[in-house]
Amino acid sequence: MTIDQLLKAMSEEFGGEPETMKLLSKISERAVFEHAANKNFAMAGDKIPPKYKLLLSFAVAAALGSENCIKTYARVALKKGITKDELAETLMVARFVKATTVFSDSTAAMEIIANHS
């Protein structure tokens, strides 16, 4: 497969141009192929249904704040039949989990505050 074929396949899957991958291909085609191989590896398992893997990907991208990935996963999800309501609920779960890390990351500070006389 050539880099142009890979980028075309990504465009078809993502429902739009993979701008980041196009730019990366100008720097290192090998990195784009490695990225595609890593995606294939991550998605190859059969214990989690593909729909859930896509929702997980969407949630993680949202929690990490990766705007390009969030938009890409939203497009792919809608194209694959995931509903707006399912995506909205996924965002609510991601928001909750990310917000929870504020408390978790503050455990040492809470010990200081709680034990202050």
User: What predicted TM-score, i.e. pTM, was given to this entire model?
Assistant: 0.85
With the CA atoms of 94, 81, 74 and 12 taken in that order, what torsion angle do they form, in degrees rounded to the nearest 10? 140
pLDDT confidence band for 49 (50 / 70 / 90): very high
91 in Cβ contact with 59 (< 8 Å): yes
Mean pLDDT of 28-34: 97
User: Measured between alpha carbons, how far is 59 from 78 in angstroms, rounded to an integer?
Assistant: 14
- 32 C-beta neighbours (distance < 10 Å), count: 22
How confident is the model over 60-114, as pLDDT tens digits?
999 999 999 999 999 999 999 999 999 999 999 999 999 999 999 999 999 999 9
